[in-house]
Amino acid sequence: MESSTDLPKFAVLQLSGCSGCEVSLLNSEEWINNFQLVYMPLVVTSNKIPNGVEVLLVTGGVRTDEDIHNLRKGRSRARKLIAVGTCALSGGVAQFKKNHIARESFLKASHRLRMPDMLPNAYPIDKFVEVDLYLPGCPPTPQLFMTALKDPEHAQIAPIVCQECGRKKLNDMRPKSITGSRSGVVLPDICLVNQGYVCLGTSTRGGCGALCTRPGHACVGCRGPANPYLNKEPKFVLDNLRRVFSRMTDIPAEEIDAALASPWLSLFLGQFTDYTQETDLPPRTKEKML
């Protein structure tokens, strides 16, 4: 602790998000002795990012003109920039590409005097600056934060959530319709898809420890697409999910499609993959994904 000034400097820049990513980082106390936190307005009195930052974590999407300014300034002062959370990777819940009613009513309500101006949408940060590492999740778990800070190059991330889940996929348990959130009863140790839940674990990158599915909640895909679907149109993830459901269940295709199109799932599934449709974004390689 005494020699804290010799430790690598790290900073956290929060753009427009919910602070959940910061809260998650604070759930780990491990970094206190390994890093020197030089900027994170949520916990430290600090007005600007100092020079010589080793790692800058950026959370939240780009929502205001001020976000763009702060992001560019932060980038120029940090050796390595990590995009943290769904919001920073996709704009997050706050982006409404397709919902024109919402967008218009939002923009109409968002004029204030002497305030940062709202942009027409919420954008992923790599639309504006170069990103060295992407850490998806809503929010990423404290363990993932520690991996990102300590040794991301050697991280062993499970390719899909199923691999960490431990539930068994059965051949002879084929539901005929989606169970929905209304049934409640979840059998232990058996794959949730076999039980009629719309679990996205088969197409979602792992690393979260199957936080939701192990206790029996379907994965909503907050860690984003697994490596094979990076930089591909959303269609590819959706096709894979359709294949999983037709192989494992007798649920009619239309029912699956309707479920996959629901805002609940598109919150992550659609929005996270939507970035591939932005033409001016750099490709996200699997080497850069944690």
63 close to 122: Cβ distance less than 8 angstroms: yes
The residues in 81-100 that bind ligand SF4, with binding defined as CB under 6 A, are 85-87, 92-93
Contacted by 124, from other proteins, ligand SF4, none: CB < 5 to 8 Å by type:
none
Instruction: Provide, rounded to whole angstroms, the least separation between the CB of residue 283 and other proteins.
Output: 27
Q: What is the three-class DSSP state of 204?
A: strand
Contacted by 191, from ligand SF4, other proteins, none: CB < 5 to 8 Å by type:
ligand SF4
The closest of 23, 14, 219, 20 to 138, measured between CA atoms, is 20
Phi first, then psi: give them for residue 59, nearest 5 degrees.
-115, 155
**What type of residue is 247?**
R
The closest of 154, 24, 97 to 270, measured between CA atoms, is 97
Residue with tokens 């420890």: 209
Contacts with ligand SF4, 36-75, as mask; x by CB under 6 A: -----------------------xx---------------
Token readout for 91 is 């704009």
Residue nearest to ligand SF4 (CB): 201
Q: Does 162 bind ligand SF4 (CB under 6 A)?
A: yes
20 or 175: whose CB is closer to other proteins?
A: 20
First to last CA, the chain: 29
Out of 133, 161, 267, 269, the only residue in the binding site for ligand SF4 (CB under 6 A) is: 161
Instruction: Provide, rounded to whole angstroms, the least separation between the CB of residue 51 and ligand SF4.
Output: 26
Contacted by 162, from ligand SF4, other proteins, none: CB < 5 to 8 Å by type:
ligand SF4
Q: How far is CA 31 from CA 38, 175, 231, in A?
A: 13, 45, 32
Contacted by 116, from other proteins, ligand SF4, none: CB < 5 to 8 Å by type:
other proteins
The closest of 211, 209, 218 to 191, measured between CA atoms, is 218
Residue with tokens 């520690």: 146
Q: Which residues bind ligand SF4 (CB under 6 A)?
A: 17-18, 20-21, 59-60, 85-87, 92-93, 138-139, 161-162, 165, 167, 169, 191-193, 199, 201-202, 204, 208, 210-213, 219-223
